[in-house]
Amino acid sequence: MNRIATRVIVGAATLTAASTLVVGTAFADTAATLKLSVVSKPVVSAVTGAVIVDGGISATASVPGTVAFSTAADTATAGTPIKGCEAVPTATTAPYTAMCNPWDPAAPGTIYINATLTPTDTTLAKVTTSLVWVVGKPINEYSTNGDISLYVDTVNGGSTPASLGNGSAATQYYASGGCLLMNQFMQGQQIVFRVYANDYARGGVPLTGNDAQMQIKIAGWDTPVNMSYGDHSGTAFWAGALNTGAQGSGKFSALGRIDYTINITMIEKPAVTKDVTVTKYVKVVNPKTKKAVKVNGAYVWKPVKVKSTQVVTPAVTGQTLSFTPAAWQAATSVLTLSAAPKA
Protein backbone atom coordinates (compact mmCIF):
# COMPACT_ATOMS: atom_id res chain seq x y z
CA MET A 1 0.00 0.00 0.00
CA ASN A 2 2.79 2.31 0.89
CA ARG A 3 4.65 1.49 -2.30
CA ILE A 4 1.64 2.37 -4.44
CA ALA A 5 1.28 5.71 -2.67
CA THR A 6 4.96 6.49 -3.25
CA ARG A 7 4.64 5.79 -6.92
CA VAL A 8 1.66 8.10 -7.24
CA ILE A 9 3.50 10.96 -5.57
CA VAL A 10 6.61 10.51 -7.72
CA GLY A 11 4.47 10.36 -10.82
CA ALA A 12 2.71 13.56 -9.86
CA ALA A 13 6.02 15.28 -9.25
CA THR A 14 7.33 14.17 -12.60
CA LEU A 15 4.19 15.38 -14.37
CA THR A 16 4.39 18.78 -12.70
CA ALA A 17 8.01 19.28 -13.66
CA ALA A 18 7.28 18.35 -17.25
CA SER A 19 4.31 20.73 -17.36
CA THR A 20 6.42 23.62 -16.02
CA LEU A 21 9.00 23.06 -18.75
CA VAL A 22 6.33 23.13 -21.45
CA VAL A 23 4.78 26.34 -20.10
CA GLY A 24 8.17 28.09 -19.94
CA THR A 25 8.92 27.27 -23.57
CA ALA A 26 5.51 28.42 -24.81
CA PHE A 27 5.81 31.90 -23.19
CA ALA A 28 9.44 32.69 -24.08
CA ASP A 29 10.11 36.13 -25.69
CA THR A 30 9.72 35.86 -29.45
CA ALA A 31 9.73 39.62 -30.24
CA ALA A 32 10.88 42.71 -28.38
CA THR A 33 8.76 45.86 -27.89
CA LEU A 34 9.80 49.48 -27.39
CA LYS A 35 7.86 52.53 -26.17
CA LEU A 36 8.94 56.19 -26.40
CA SER A 37 8.03 59.21 -24.29
CA VAL A 38 9.34 62.75 -23.81
CA VAL A 39 10.13 63.21 -20.12
CA SER A 40 11.52 66.75 -20.37
CA LYS A 41 10.00 69.16 -22.89
CA PRO A 42 12.63 71.15 -24.81
CA VAL A 43 12.21 74.83 -25.71
CA VAL A 44 14.20 76.27 -28.62
CA SER A 45 14.46 79.88 -29.81
CA ALA A 46 12.90 80.41 -33.23
CA VAL A 47 15.14 83.46 -33.71
CA THR A 48 18.60 82.23 -32.72
CA GLY A 49 18.12 78.47 -32.64
CA ALA A 50 19.52 78.37 -29.10
CA VAL A 51 18.19 75.72 -26.72
CA ILE A 52 16.46 77.53 -23.86
CA VAL A 53 15.30 74.40 -22.00
CA ASP A 54 16.94 70.97 -22.38
CA GLY A 55 14.77 68.04 -23.39
CA GLY A 56 14.85 64.37 -22.44
CA ILE A 57 13.58 61.21 -24.15
CA SER A 58 12.80 57.90 -22.44
CA ALA A 59 12.63 54.54 -24.22
CA THR A 60 11.25 51.54 -22.32
CA ALA A 61 11.88 48.09 -23.81
CA SER A 62 10.50 44.66 -22.98
CA VAL A 63 14.03 43.19 -22.93
CA PRO A 64 17.50 44.59 -22.16
CA GLY A 65 19.69 45.97 -24.95
CA THR A 66 20.90 49.25 -26.42
CA VAL A 67 18.80 52.02 -27.93
CA ALA A 68 19.82 54.33 -30.79
CA PHE A 69 17.93 57.67 -30.78
CA SER A 70 17.49 59.85 -33.87
CA THR A 71 15.22 62.59 -35.21
CA ALA A 72 13.70 63.31 -38.62
CA ALA A 73 11.57 66.00 -40.24
CA ASP A 74 9.07 63.44 -41.55
CA THR A 75 8.56 59.70 -41.94
CA ALA A 76 10.16 59.68 -45.39
CA THR A 77 13.42 61.29 -44.18
CA ALA A 78 16.24 59.21 -42.75
CA GLY A 79 16.79 59.99 -39.08
CA THR A 80 19.76 62.01 -37.89
CA PRO A 81 21.42 60.44 -34.81
CA ILE A 82 21.13 62.48 -31.63
CA LYS A 83 24.63 63.27 -30.44
CA GLY A 84 25.48 61.30 -27.33
CA CYS A 85 22.46 59.03 -27.74
CA GLU A 86 23.65 56.80 -30.60
CA ALA A 87 23.80 53.66 -28.42
CA VAL A 88 22.34 54.06 -24.94
CA PRO A 89 22.24 50.85 -22.85
CA THR A 90 18.99 50.01 -21.09
CA ALA A 91 18.80 49.14 -17.42
CA THR A 92 19.87 45.56 -16.74
CA THR A 93 16.70 44.83 -14.78
CA ALA A 94 13.06 45.63 -15.53
CA PRO A 95 11.88 48.18 -16.38
CA TYR A 96 14.44 48.17 -19.23
CA THR A 97 14.69 51.95 -19.73
CA ALA A 98 17.21 53.95 -21.77
CA MET A 99 17.41 57.74 -21.40
CA CYS A 100 18.53 60.32 -23.98
CA ASN A 101 19.16 63.27 -21.72
CA PRO A 102 19.89 66.05 -22.48
CA TRP A 103 18.21 66.19 -25.87
CA ASP A 104 18.81 69.52 -27.63
CA PRO A 105 16.78 69.87 -30.84
CA ALA A 106 18.07 72.19 -33.56
CA ALA A 107 14.83 74.13 -34.08
CA PRO A 108 11.26 74.43 -32.81
CA GLY A 109 8.38 72.77 -34.65
CA THR A 110 7.09 69.29 -35.43
CA ILE A 111 9.70 66.54 -35.36
CA TYR A 112 9.76 62.73 -35.50
CA ILE A 113 11.70 61.03 -32.71
CA ASN A 114 12.94 57.57 -33.68
CA ALA A 115 14.45 54.87 -31.49
CA THR A 116 15.88 51.47 -32.44
CA LEU A 117 16.39 48.74 -29.85
CA THR A 118 19.12 46.15 -30.36
CA PRO A 119 18.32 43.37 -27.85
CA THR A 120 21.13 41.77 -25.86
CA ASP A 121 19.52 38.44 -26.77
CA THR A 122 20.81 37.98 -30.33
CA THR A 123 17.93 35.62 -31.13
CA LEU A 124 15.57 38.61 -31.00
CA ALA A 125 15.28 41.02 -33.91
CA LYS A 126 15.83 44.77 -33.67
CA VAL A 127 12.70 46.86 -33.20
CA THR A 128 12.13 50.51 -34.17
CA THR A 129 9.43 52.90 -32.99
CA SER A 130 8.76 56.62 -33.43
CA LEU A 131 6.99 59.49 -31.73
CA VAL A 132 5.71 62.75 -33.21
CA TRP A 133 6.60 65.72 -31.02
CA VAL A 134 6.25 69.50 -31.27
CA VAL A 135 9.33 71.29 -29.96
CA GLY A 136 8.19 74.46 -28.20
CA LYS A 137 9.36 78.04 -28.65
CA PRO A 138 8.90 81.03 -26.35
CA ILE A 139 5.91 83.07 -27.44
CA ASN A 140 7.39 86.34 -26.17
CA GLU A 141 10.76 86.22 -27.90
CA TYR A 142 11.71 88.93 -30.35
CA SER A 143 14.55 89.71 -32.70
CA THR A 144 16.25 92.95 -33.71
CA ASN A 145 14.27 93.11 -36.97
CA GLY A 146 11.34 94.88 -35.35
CA ASP A 147 8.97 92.30 -33.88
CA ILE A 148 5.95 93.38 -31.88
CA SER A 149 5.33 91.79 -28.47
CA LEU A 150 1.66 91.42 -27.45
CA TYR A 151 -0.33 90.66 -24.33
CA VAL A 152 -4.02 90.02 -25.00
CA ASP A 153 -6.98 89.36 -22.70
CA THR A 154 -10.76 89.72 -22.65
CA VAL A 155 -12.96 91.24 -19.95
CA ASN A 156 -16.67 91.72 -19.33
CA GLY A 157 -17.64 95.16 -20.56
CA GLY A 158 -21.13 95.30 -19.07
CA SER A 159 -22.04 96.50 -15.57
CA THR A 160 -25.21 94.41 -15.30
CA PRO A 161 -24.81 91.18 -13.28
CA ALA A 162 -24.95 88.09 -15.47
CA SER A 163 -25.38 84.44 -14.52
CA LEU A 164 -22.69 82.17 -15.96
CA GLY A 165 -22.50 78.37 -15.90
CA ASN A 166 -19.26 76.97 -14.50
CA GLY A 167 -19.50 73.69 -16.40
CA SER A 168 -22.30 72.17 -14.31
CA ALA A 169 -25.94 72.57 -15.26
CA ALA A 170 -26.93 72.60 -11.61
CA THR A 171 -24.48 75.27 -10.49
CA GLN A 172 -24.30 78.93 -11.49
CA TYR A 173 -22.15 81.84 -10.45
CA TYR A 174 -22.53 85.57 -11.04
CA ALA A 175 -20.24 87.96 -12.87
CA SER A 176 -21.06 91.51 -11.88
CA GLY A 177 -19.48 94.80 -12.76
CA GLY A 178 -17.18 95.61 -15.65
CA CYS A 179 -13.61 94.59 -16.49
CA LEU A 180 -13.87 91.12 -15.00
CA LEU A 181 -11.14 89.01 -16.60
CA MET A 182 -12.90 86.06 -18.28
CA ASN A 183 -13.12 84.04 -21.50
CA GLN A 184 -16.62 82.51 -21.20
CA PHE A 185 -19.41 84.88 -22.18
CA MET A 186 -23.17 84.65 -22.73
CA GLN A 187 -25.27 86.22 -25.46
CA GLY A 188 -26.08 89.75 -24.43
CA GLN A 189 -22.77 90.46 -22.79
CA GLN A 190 -20.16 92.82 -24.17
CA ILE A 191 -16.73 91.29 -24.84
CA VAL A 192 -13.93 93.82 -24.42
CA PHE A 193 -10.57 92.98 -25.95
CA ARG A 194 -7.51 94.52 -24.29
CA VAL A 195 -4.10 94.56 -25.97
CA TYR A 196 -0.76 95.70 -24.60
CA ALA A 197 1.85 96.01 -27.38
CA ASN A 198 5.56 96.89 -27.44
CA ASP A 199 7.73 97.70 -30.44
CA TYR A 200 11.17 96.15 -30.04
CA ALA A 201 12.52 97.86 -33.16
CA ARG A 202 12.41 101.00 -31.05
CA GLY A 203 13.81 99.54 -27.88
CA GLY A 204 10.58 98.04 -26.54
CA VAL A 205 8.55 101.26 -26.31
CA PRO A 206 4.73 100.91 -26.08
CA LEU A 207 2.93 100.81 -29.42
CA THR A 208 0.37 103.64 -29.44
CA GLY A 209 -2.19 105.13 -31.79
CA ASN A 210 0.52 107.42 -33.12
CA ASP A 211 2.40 104.35 -34.36
CA ALA A 212 -0.24 101.97 -35.67
CA GLN A 213 -3.85 101.08 -36.34
CA MET A 214 -5.28 97.92 -34.79
CA GLN A 215 -8.30 95.77 -35.59
CA ILE A 216 -9.56 92.41 -34.37
CA LYS A 217 -11.18 90.24 -37.04
CA ILE A 218 -13.71 87.74 -35.69
CA ALA A 219 -14.03 84.52 -37.70
CA GLY A 220 -17.47 84.39 -39.39
CA TRP A 221 -18.26 88.05 -38.58
CA ASP A 222 -17.88 90.75 -41.22
CA THR A 223 -17.58 93.73 -38.88
CA PRO A 224 -14.08 94.05 -37.36
CA VAL A 225 -13.54 95.29 -33.83
CA ASN A 226 -11.75 98.61 -34.14
CA MET A 227 -9.25 99.12 -31.34
CA SER A 228 -8.26 102.48 -29.87
CA TYR A 229 -5.33 103.39 -27.66
CA GLY A 230 -6.01 105.44 -24.56
CA ASP A 231 -5.99 105.85 -20.80
CA HIS A 232 -8.12 103.52 -18.68
CA SER A 233 -8.11 104.57 -15.03
CA GLY A 234 -4.45 105.45 -15.07
CA THR A 235 -3.19 102.70 -17.41
CA ALA A 236 -3.01 103.10 -21.18
CA PHE A 237 -3.62 100.22 -23.60
CA TRP A 238 -5.56 99.23 -26.71
CA ALA A 239 -9.25 98.37 -26.25
CA GLY A 240 -12.25 97.46 -28.41
CA ALA A 241 -15.67 95.93 -27.77
CA LEU A 242 -17.73 93.19 -29.42
CA ASN A 243 -21.43 93.39 -28.56
CA THR A 244 -23.21 90.03 -28.48
CA GLY A 245 -26.89 89.18 -28.60
CA ALA A 246 -29.51 86.66 -29.65
CA GLN A 247 -29.67 85.53 -33.25
CA GLY A 248 -31.39 88.17 -35.39
CA SER A 249 -30.45 91.04 -33.08
CA GLY A 250 -27.80 92.37 -35.44
CA LYS A 251 -25.14 91.60 -32.85
CA PHE A 252 -22.62 88.79 -32.81
CA SER A 253 -24.55 85.63 -31.89
CA ALA A 254 -22.59 82.56 -33.06
CA LEU A 255 -22.33 80.12 -30.14
CA GLY A 256 -19.22 78.17 -29.24
CA ARG A 257 -15.58 78.97 -29.77
CA ILE A 258 -14.72 82.47 -31.03
CA ASP A 259 -11.61 82.51 -33.21
CA TYR A 260 -10.06 85.90 -33.83
CA THR A 261 -7.00 87.48 -35.42
CA ILE A 262 -5.30 90.69 -34.34
CA ASN A 263 -4.20 92.84 -37.30
CA ILE A 264 -1.73 95.66 -36.64
CA THR A 265 -0.99 98.09 -39.47
CA MET A 266 2.13 100.09 -38.77
CA ILE A 267 2.10 103.77 -39.75
CA GLU A 268 5.01 104.40 -42.09
CA LYS A 269 7.58 106.76 -40.63
CA PRO A 270 11.00 107.97 -41.74
CA ALA A 271 14.03 107.33 -39.60
CA VAL A 272 14.79 109.86 -36.88
CA THR A 273 18.37 111.10 -37.15
CA LYS A 274 20.60 113.64 -35.51
CA ASP A 275 23.90 115.25 -36.46
CA VAL A 276 26.70 114.89 -33.94
CA THR A 277 30.35 115.89 -33.84
CA VAL A 278 32.76 113.04 -33.40
CA THR A 279 36.53 112.64 -33.30
CA LYS A 280 38.12 110.85 -36.20
CA TYR A 281 41.79 109.93 -36.56
CA VAL A 282 43.47 110.43 -39.95
CA LYS A 283 47.00 109.91 -41.22
CA VAL A 284 49.33 112.90 -41.26
CA VAL A 285 50.26 113.71 -44.87
CA ASN A 286 53.44 115.49 -45.97
CA PRO A 287 52.22 118.53 -47.95
CA LYS A 288 55.16 118.34 -50.32
CA THR A 289 55.28 114.62 -51.11
CA LYS A 290 51.54 114.06 -50.56
CA LYS A 291 52.47 110.83 -48.78
CA ALA A 292 51.54 109.66 -45.32
CA VAL A 293 54.19 110.40 -42.73
CA LYS A 294 55.92 107.49 -41.03
CA VAL A 295 58.08 107.55 -37.91
CA ASN A 296 60.13 104.44 -37.15
CA GLY A 297 58.09 102.58 -39.73
CA ALA A 298 54.71 103.49 -38.20
CA TYR A 299 52.16 105.95 -39.58
CA VAL A 300 51.53 109.18 -37.70
CA TRP A 301 47.88 109.90 -36.87
CA LYS A 302 46.12 113.11 -35.83
CA PRO A 303 42.61 113.72 -34.41
CA VAL A 304 40.10 115.77 -36.39
CA LYS A 305 36.54 116.81 -35.59
CA VAL A 306 33.90 115.72 -38.13
CA LYS A 307 30.11 115.77 -38.28
CA SER A 308 28.27 112.45 -38.41
CA THR A 309 24.58 111.64 -38.91
CA GLN A 310 23.36 108.94 -36.54
CA VAL A 311 20.03 107.10 -36.56
CA VAL A 312 18.12 107.68 -33.32
CA THR A 313 15.05 105.64 -34.30
CA PRO A 314 14.98 103.36 -37.34
CA ALA A 315 12.45 103.89 -40.10
CA VAL A 316 9.08 102.13 -39.79
CA THR A 317 7.60 100.46 -42.87
CA GLY A 318 3.84 100.46 -43.40
CA GLN A 319 3.39 96.71 -43.02
CA THR A 320 0.50 94.77 -41.50
CA LEU A 321 1.26 92.21 -38.81
CA SER A 322 -1.15 89.47 -37.71
CA PHE A 323 -1.44 87.28 -34.65
CA THR A 324 -3.96 84.51 -33.88
CA PRO A 325 -4.07 83.57 -30.18
CA ALA A 326 -6.09 80.39 -30.84
CA ALA A 327 -3.04 78.90 -32.55
CA TRP A 328 -1.33 78.36 -29.19
CA GLN A 329 -4.05 78.55 -26.55
CA ALA A 330 -5.18 75.39 -24.81
CA ALA A 331 -8.67 74.20 -25.74
CA THR A 332 -9.97 75.19 -22.29
CA SER A 333 -8.60 78.74 -22.63
CA VAL A 334 -10.18 79.85 -25.89
CA LEU A 335 -12.86 82.53 -26.04
CA THR A 336 -16.39 81.08 -26.07
CA LEU A 337 -19.97 82.35 -26.27
CA SER A 338 -22.93 80.51 -24.75
CA ALA A 339 -26.67 81.02 -25.04
CA ALA A 340 -28.25 83.03 -22.26
CA PRO A 341 -30.37 80.92 -19.87
CA LYS A 342 -34.09 81.11 -20.38
CA ALA A 343 -35.96 83.24 -17.90
Residue of 311 and 82 predicted with greater confidence: 82
Q: Read off φ and ψ for residue 14, nearest 5 degrees.
A: -65, -40
- The rounded distance, in Å, linking the Cα atoms of 80 and 17 is 51
CA gap 118, 129 in Å, rounded: 12
157 Cβ neighbours under 8 A, 6+ residues apart? 178, 179, 189, 190, 191, 192, 241
State mean pLDDT over 329-334: 69
Whole-angstrom Cα distance, residue 113 to residue 95? 21
Report which of residues 309 and 140 the model is more confident about.
Answer: 309
Cβ–Cβ < 8 Å for 185, 244: yes
Other C-beta atoms closer than 10 Å to the C-beta of 211 total: 19
Res 14 pLDDT > 50: no
Domains of the chain as residue ranges with CATH: 34-135 (2.60.40), 148-269+316-338 (2.60.40.10), 272-311 (no CATH)
Q: Is the pLDDT of residue 238 over 70?
A: yes
Model confidence band, residue 333 (pLDDT cutoffs 50, 70, 90)? confident
What is the residue-averaged pLDDT of the chain?
82
- CA 285 vs. chain centroid, Å, equals 60
156 confidence band (pLDDT: 50, 70, 90): confident
Residues in the chain: 343
